[in-house]
Structures are given as structure tokens and as C-alpha cells.
Amino acid sequence: MINFRYHLVSLAAVLLALAVGIILGSGPLDDTRTSFGGSNDSAPDPALAGFEEAYAERTGSSLADGVLRDRSVVLLTTPDARTDEVAGITADLKQSGATITGTVKLTSKLLDPANRQFAEGVAQQAAGDDESVSSATDGYGRVGAAIARAYLGKGDVDDVGSMIASAFSEGELVATDEAPATRASLTLIVAGPGTSDTASGESQVVAQLSQVLSASGDGAVVVGPSSSSEDGGAVAAVRGGDAAATVSTLDVTDSAAGRVVVPLVVAQQAAGTVGSWGTSRGADGALPQ
């Protein structure tokens, strides 16, 4: 007999498929999508959006309840990350039992490849003789290692971590309403659409940083709306490079059902399973089973 949890997962998969533009029985649509986060000019049907939001609220706790209990997560956001998506993801993570140590905004100054030497200099100077940063082999390796030293690990943020966080903030490389006081074991990077003129370069930097952050803790996940897995987006940059081997991705955060899946992806990453989920551009299906 099919149990209730399996039934809920199946229903969520169907709804998620509808939300990202897959019609059952006819296969994936082409790039002229008409659903949430689509690339054409038509707005999503408010009635359908309301149903999808209500469905996600009712089923989300059943799907992800407790999957991140005793896990801690630091949220890093790109400059174009949408506020409502970040808020929804935060709520779903908390529902799953995760402790969110803080939300840190990665600025355009940090993600602009032209500023790599400046960011590397800030990282090296703030970290001093800390071996985890000084032993990194390239510019973004050192920058990623410094971010990891500030926000990842066990226990409270120490003096070196505080120094790095302050230096990055003063250098306008990151911004946060309140710097995390405790360190996290997992990193979740929430990206935006990736459609600006500067998005491609920034997305490549996100991919490089995510790879370092994943190796520095219990794993990293990069999520974003459906367009983030198209050319120029952060999810596409991760999937198309070396980071794909160690960093999980999801490209449906512009859907309430998609945001419910985020904790499931983070839990899979924490358990050592790397995957690519979401739209038909993901290699592993709509959501983890």
C-alpha cells in the first residue's frame, strides 16, 4: 500500500512539475515558458499562484518536517536575489528544524571579477596567519576560505572570524543586518534570476565560492528561480563547471512548491548526496526522493 508520506511527495512532484512548465504526458516545454519565473512577458495566473501557495503551506511541513533538525545553515544571497523568495526559503528551513545562523548578502563588489585582487587582499589581511586562508591556492580560493572561516564551523564565531566578517563588511564585500554570532555547518546560497548584463561574471564567482564553501563545511547548495539555470545564471554556472561534483542545485525558488523542496535538497547535501533538481534542466528530477 502506498503510504501517506509517499502520496504527499508524489503530489508535490506533480505540482512542482506544473509550476515550472512541464505538462504531464507531453514532456518539457521549450524556453518560451508561461509559468512561474518564465522568460516570456505574460504574468502567472493569480488564481493558480494562490492555489499553489496554499498547497505548499499545507504540505510543506509534511514533506520536510525535521529533515534538518540539529543542522545549522548560513544563508548567503546574491545581489539580485528576490526578497520574497529569501523570506519563503527562510521560513521553510525553520519549518524543517534548521537553525539559521544568519543571512549575509554578497555584494556586487565582491562578485565582480574585476575586484578579485581587492577581495583577496581583504581576505588575506583580515585572516592574518590563519592557515585555512593562507594555504588556499588562488584568489577566489582565499576569498571563499575567508568566508568559510568567518561563518562555518562549530560553536561561536571567534576573534579571527569576527575580524574577517568586519573587514568584509567595511570593504563593502558583504552586508548583513546582524553578523552571525555562531557558525554553521551548511551553506545555502540563494541566487536571483541571473538576467542582468553583469550576471554571467558574477555567477562564475558564485560557482567558485560555492565549491570552496562546500569543502569547508558539511556541504553547500545553490538555489534560484527557473531562469538561474539558463545561460548567465548562478545555478547554470555551478552545473556547468567543477562545482557540479560537490555542490547541489535547485532552480524553482520562484515557486512556493519549489521553495518547500529547498530543505530536502539541503538535507541530501548534508547526507553526502549531490544532485541537480528542479526544472527539466536539472539532471536528477523535480525533487529528491
Tell me, what's the pLDDT at 154? 93
pLDDT recorded at residue 20: 44
Question: Residue 133: phi, psi to the nearest 5?
Answer: -95, -45
**Tens of pLDDT along 33-78?**
333 334 444 455 565 566 566 666 666 556 788 899 999 999 999 9
Going by their DSSP bridges, the two strands 72-77 and 22-23 should be labelled as: unpaired
- Smallest CA-to-CA distance from 190 within 231, 223, 218 is with 223
Q: What are the cell numbers at 179?
A: 553578523
Pick the residue with more confidence: 59 or 82? Answer: 82
- Dump pLDDT digits (tens) for 246-266: 999 999 999 888 999 999 999
Buried/exposed code over 153-167 (b: 16+ C-beta within 10 A; e: otherwise): beeebeebbbbbbeb
Q: Specify the higher pLDDT residue, 147 or 256.
A: 147
Q: Which residue has the cell 542545485?
A: 249
Percent of the chain at pLDDT > 70 equals 79
Which three three-digit cell numbers place residue 98? 534548521
Handedness of CA 95, 74, 111, 234 (dihedral sign): negative
The C-alpha atoms of residue 24 and residue 6 are separated, in whole angstroms, by 19
**Strands 247-250 and 22-23: what pairing?**
unpaired
CA–CA gap between residue 224 and residue 212 (Å, rounded): 19
Q: How far apart (Å, rounded) are the C-alpha atoms in residues 87 and 84?
A: 5
